[in-house]
Amino acid sequence: MEIVIPYQPRDLQLSYHQDRKRWSLLVCHRRFGKTVCAINELIKSALTCPLERPRFAYVAPFHKQAKQIAWDYAKHYSRPIPGIKINEAELRIDYPNEARLQLFGADNPDSLRGLYHDGIVLDEYGDMSPRLFSEVIRPALSDRKGWALFIGSSKGGTIFHELYEQVKNNEDWYVRFQKAFPAADLWTAACALAGPDTRAAA
Ligand SMILES: Nc1ncnc2c1ncn2[C@@H]1O[C@H](COP(=O)(O)OP(=O)(O)OP(=O)(O)O)[C@@H](O)[C@H]1O
Ligand SMILES: [Mg+2]
Protein backbone atom coordinates (compact mmCIF):
# COMPACT_ATOMS: atom_id res chain seq x y z
CA MET A 1 0.00 0.00 0.00
CA GLU A 2 1.28 3.45 -0.88
CA ILE A 3 1.16 6.06 1.86
CA VAL A 4 1.46 9.67 0.72
CA ILE A 5 2.70 12.15 3.31
CA PRO A 6 1.62 15.70 2.30
CA TYR A 7 5.15 17.10 2.38
CA GLN A 8 7.19 18.35 -0.56
CA PRO A 9 10.58 19.24 0.91
CA ARG A 10 12.21 22.49 -0.13
CA ASP A 11 15.82 22.32 -1.42
CA LEU A 12 17.57 22.67 1.92
CA GLN A 13 15.05 20.42 3.66
CA LEU A 14 15.67 17.77 1.01
CA SER A 15 19.41 18.14 1.35
CA TYR A 16 19.09 17.51 5.09
CA HIS A 17 16.84 14.44 4.62
CA GLN A 18 19.25 12.96 2.07
CA ASP A 19 22.62 13.83 3.54
CA ARG A 20 22.17 14.14 7.29
CA LYS A 21 24.61 12.48 9.62
CA ARG A 22 24.22 11.13 13.10
CA TRP A 23 24.83 14.67 14.35
CA SER A 24 23.27 17.58 12.46
CA LEU A 25 22.80 21.29 12.99
CA LEU A 26 20.63 23.65 10.97
CA VAL A 27 20.85 27.41 11.38
CA CYS A 28 18.12 28.91 9.24
CA HIS A 29 16.13 32.09 9.18
CA ARG A 30 12.70 32.38 10.75
CA ARG A 31 9.86 30.58 8.93
CA PHE A 32 12.34 28.69 6.78
CA GLY A 33 10.64 25.39 7.59
CA LYS A 34 13.00 24.00 10.24
CA THR A 35 10.32 22.52 12.47
CA VAL A 36 8.41 20.98 9.55
CA CYS A 37 11.64 19.47 8.25
CA ALA A 38 12.53 18.08 11.67
CA ILE A 39 9.10 16.55 12.28
CA ASN A 40 9.15 14.87 8.89
CA GLU A 41 12.58 13.40 9.54
CA LEU A 42 11.31 12.02 12.84
CA ILE A 43 8.27 10.46 11.15
CA LYS A 44 10.34 9.00 8.31
CA SER A 45 12.83 7.56 10.77
CA ALA A 46 10.03 6.17 12.96
CA LEU A 47 8.53 4.33 10.02
CA THR A 48 11.80 3.00 8.63
CA CYS A 49 13.79 2.20 11.78
CA PRO A 50 14.70 -1.51 11.71
CA LEU A 51 15.13 -1.80 15.49
CA GLU A 52 12.53 -3.04 17.95
CA ARG A 53 10.20 -0.46 19.48
CA PRO A 54 11.86 2.61 17.91
CA ARG A 55 11.65 5.77 19.97
CA PHE A 56 11.85 9.31 18.61
CA ALA A 57 11.53 12.60 20.40
CA TYR A 58 11.06 16.26 19.65
CA VAL A 59 12.11 18.75 22.33
CA ALA A 60 11.30 22.47 22.48
CA PRO A 61 12.48 24.76 25.30
CA PHE A 62 9.04 24.57 26.95
CA HIS A 63 6.45 21.80 26.92
CA LYS A 64 3.73 24.31 26.08
CA GLN A 65 5.84 25.57 23.20
CA ALA A 66 6.37 22.03 21.86
CA LYS A 67 2.61 21.65 21.76
CA GLN A 68 2.11 25.03 20.10
CA ILE A 69 4.79 24.79 17.43
CA ALA A 70 5.10 21.11 16.57
CA TRP A 71 2.09 19.05 17.68
CA ASP A 72 -0.16 20.06 14.78
CA TYR A 73 2.65 19.32 12.30
CA ALA A 74 3.26 15.90 13.90
CA LYS A 75 -0.42 14.97 13.60
CA HIS A 76 -0.87 16.49 10.16
CA TYR A 77 2.04 14.64 8.59
CA SER A 78 1.29 11.37 10.42
CA ARG A 79 -2.44 11.26 9.64
CA PRO A 80 -2.18 9.41 6.29
CA ILE A 81 -0.43 6.51 8.05
CA PRO A 82 -2.99 3.79 8.78
CA GLY A 83 -3.20 2.40 12.32
CA ILE A 84 -1.59 5.32 14.17
CA LYS A 85 -2.71 6.10 17.72
CA ILE A 86 -2.67 9.72 18.83
CA ASN A 87 -2.41 10.46 22.54
CA GLU A 88 -3.28 14.13 23.01
CA ALA A 89 -2.51 14.26 26.72
CA GLU A 90 1.00 12.87 26.29
CA LEU A 91 1.74 14.53 22.92
CA ARG A 92 2.56 11.08 21.61
CA ILE A 93 1.94 9.23 18.36
CA ASP A 94 2.30 5.46 18.18
CA TYR A 95 2.87 3.96 14.74
CA PRO A 96 1.82 0.48 13.65
CA ASN A 97 5.44 -0.81 13.69
CA GLU A 98 5.60 -0.06 17.44
CA ALA A 99 7.57 3.11 16.78
CA ARG A 100 6.74 6.11 18.92
CA LEU A 101 7.15 9.85 18.48
CA GLN A 102 6.72 12.03 21.55
CA LEU A 103 7.03 15.76 22.17
CA PHE A 104 8.78 17.09 25.27
CA GLY A 105 9.74 20.36 26.92
CA ALA A 106 13.28 21.10 28.08
CA ASP A 107 11.65 22.77 31.09
CA ASN A 108 10.90 19.28 32.40
CA PRO A 109 14.13 17.28 32.01
CA ASP A 110 12.77 14.53 34.28
CA SER A 111 10.22 13.63 31.61
CA LEU A 112 13.16 12.65 29.38
CA ARG A 113 15.09 10.63 31.94
CA GLY A 114 15.14 6.86 31.78
CA LEU A 115 14.24 6.73 28.09
CA TYR A 116 16.26 5.69 25.04
CA HIS A 117 16.09 7.54 21.75
CA ASP A 118 16.76 6.42 18.20
CA GLY A 119 16.52 10.02 17.04
CA ILE A 120 15.86 13.34 18.72
CA VAL A 121 15.31 16.93 17.64
CA LEU A 122 16.26 19.89 19.81
CA ASP A 123 14.32 22.85 18.40
CA GLU A 124 15.27 26.41 19.41
CA TYR A 125 18.31 24.84 21.06
CA GLY A 126 19.74 28.26 21.99
CA ASP A 127 17.02 28.60 24.62
CA MET A 128 17.89 25.35 26.42
CA SER A 129 20.38 24.55 29.14
CA PRO A 130 23.49 22.84 27.70
CA ARG A 131 23.29 20.35 30.59
CA LEU A 132 20.10 18.90 29.16
CA PHE A 133 21.98 17.42 26.23
CA SER A 134 25.14 16.36 28.03
CA GLU A 135 23.46 14.90 31.12
CA VAL A 136 20.10 13.64 29.91
CA ILE A 137 19.88 13.28 26.15
CA ARG A 138 23.36 12.21 25.08
CA PRO A 139 23.36 9.12 27.35
CA ALA A 140 19.90 8.20 26.03
CA LEU A 141 21.27 8.17 22.47
CA SER A 142 24.18 5.85 23.27
CA ASP A 143 22.25 2.59 23.66
CA ARG A 144 21.21 2.37 20.03
CA LYS A 145 23.42 5.01 18.41
CA GLY A 146 20.52 7.39 17.92
CA TRP A 147 20.84 10.60 15.94
CA ALA A 148 20.32 14.20 17.00
CA LEU A 149 19.35 17.35 15.12
CA PHE A 150 19.92 20.78 16.65
CA ILE A 151 17.94 23.62 15.11
CA GLY A 152 17.63 27.34 15.60
CA SER A 153 17.76 30.67 13.85
CA SER A 154 20.87 32.81 13.38
CA LYS A 155 19.67 34.95 16.28
CA GLY A 156 19.16 31.94 18.52
CA GLY A 157 21.04 31.97 21.85
CA THR A 158 24.66 31.73 22.90
CA ILE A 159 24.87 27.97 23.33
CA PHE A 160 23.55 27.46 19.81
CA HIS A 161 26.25 29.78 18.42
CA GLU A 162 28.91 28.08 20.48
CA LEU A 163 27.83 24.67 19.22
CA TYR A 164 27.83 25.94 15.63
CA GLU A 165 31.38 27.29 16.02
CA GLN A 166 32.52 24.01 17.57
CA VAL A 167 31.13 21.72 14.89
CA LYS A 168 30.96 23.74 11.66
CA ASN A 169 34.12 22.11 10.25
CA ASN A 170 33.70 18.74 11.90
CA GLU A 171 33.26 15.95 9.35
CA ASP A 172 31.12 13.94 11.73
CA TRP A 173 28.48 16.65 11.53
CA TYR A 174 26.03 17.76 8.88
CA VAL A 175 25.92 21.55 9.31
CA ARG A 176 24.02 24.11 7.25
CA PHE A 177 23.80 27.84 7.80
CA GLN A 178 21.22 29.79 5.85
CA LYS A 179 20.82 33.40 6.77
CA ALA A 180 18.27 35.67 5.13
CA PHE A 181 19.10 39.32 4.78
CA PRO A 182 17.01 41.31 7.24
CA ALA A 183 14.85 43.83 5.34
CA ALA A 184 16.91 46.74 6.70
CA ASP A 185 20.15 45.22 5.30
CA LEU A 186 18.54 44.72 1.90
CA TRP A 187 17.49 48.36 1.89
CA THR A 188 21.03 49.52 2.73
CA ALA A 189 22.49 47.24 0.06
CA ALA A 190 20.02 48.52 -2.55
CA CYS A 191 20.89 52.13 -1.70
CA ALA A 192 24.62 51.41 -1.95
CA LEU A 193 24.14 49.82 -5.38
CA ALA A 194 22.06 52.75 -6.61
CA GLY A 195 24.74 55.23 -5.57
CA PRO A 196 24.03 58.74 -4.25
CA ASP A 197 20.74 60.23 -5.36
CA THR A 198 21.87 63.20 -7.54
CA ARG A 199 18.36 64.19 -8.58
CA ALA A 200 17.65 65.88 -5.26
CA ALA A 201 20.66 68.16 -5.71
CA ALA A 202 19.65 69.38 -9.18
N1 LIG B 1 8.17 21.91 2.48
C2 LIG B 1 7.20 22.76 2.77
N3 LIG B 1 6.17 22.92 1.92
C4 LIG B 1 5.18 23.80 2.20
N5 LIG B 1 5.12 24.55 3.32
C6 LIG B 1 6.13 24.44 4.19
C7 LIG B 1 7.22 23.54 3.97
N8 LIG B 1 8.06 23.66 5.02
C9 LIG B 1 7.52 24.56 5.85
N10 LIG B 1 6.36 25.03 5.36
C11 LIG B 1 5.50 26.05 5.95
O12 LIG B 1 6.30 27.20 6.26
C13 LIG B 1 5.89 27.78 7.49
C14 LIG B 1 7.06 27.78 8.46
O15 LIG B 1 7.42 26.44 8.76
P16 LIG B 1 8.14 26.07 10.14
O17 LIG B 1 7.27 26.35 11.29
O18 LIG B 1 8.67 24.68 10.00
O19 LIG B 1 9.34 27.12 10.08
P20 LIG B 1 10.49 27.40 11.13
O21 LIG B 1 11.75 27.61 10.35
O22 LIG B 1 10.50 26.36 12.18
O23 LIG B 1 9.98 28.81 11.70
P24 LIG B 1 10.38 29.50 13.10
O25 LIG B 1 11.73 30.10 12.89
O26 LIG B 1 9.31 30.54 13.28
O27 LIG B 1 10.38 28.44 14.17
C28 LIG B 1 4.70 26.95 8.00
O29 LIG B 1 3.52 27.59 7.58
C30 LIG B 1 4.89 25.62 7.28
O31 LIG B 1 3.68 24.92 7.11
MG1 LIG C 1 10.23 26.39 14.22
pLDDT band at 125 (very low <50, low <70, confident <90, very high): very high
The domain that holds 143 is classified in CATH as 3.40.50.300
Is residue 195 predicted with pLDDT exceeding 70?
Answer: no
Closest residue (by CA) to atom 6 of ligand 1? 33
Q: Does the beta carbon of 33 lie inside 6 Å of ligand 1?
A: yes
Q: Which residues, including other chains, have CB under 8 Å from residue 19's CB and lie 6 or more apart?
A: 174
Q: Does the beta carbon of 155 lie inside 6 Å of ligand 1?
A: no
Q: Is residue 151 in some structural domain?
A: yes
Give the number of domains in the chain. Answer: 1
Q: Which domain holds residue 132?
A: 11-201
Q: Is residue 44 in some structural domain?
A: yes
3-state secondary structure 167-189: HCCCCCEEEEEECCCCHHHHHHH
Q: Is residue 64 in some structural domain?
A: yes
Q: Is residue 173 in some structural domain?
A: yes
CA–centroid distance, residue 34 to ligand 2 (Å): 5
In whole angstroms, give the CA distance from residue 116 to residue 199.
67
Q: Is residue 92 in some structural domain?
A: yes
Closest residue (by CA) to atom 7 of ligand 1? 33
Q: What is the mean pLDDT of residues 103-112?
A: 97
Q: Is residue 3 in some structural domain?
A: no
**From the CB of residue 107, how many other CB atoms can be counted at a distance below 10 Å?**
18
Would you say the pTM of this structure is higher than 0.85?
A: yes
- Give the pLDDT of residue 187: 46
Q: Is residue 4 in some structural domain?
A: no
Q: Is residue 150 in some structural domain?
A: yes
The 10s digit of each residue's pLDDT in 19-41 is: 999 999 999 999 999 999 999 99
The 10s digit of each residue's pLDDT in 79-101 is: 999 999 999 999 999 999 999 99
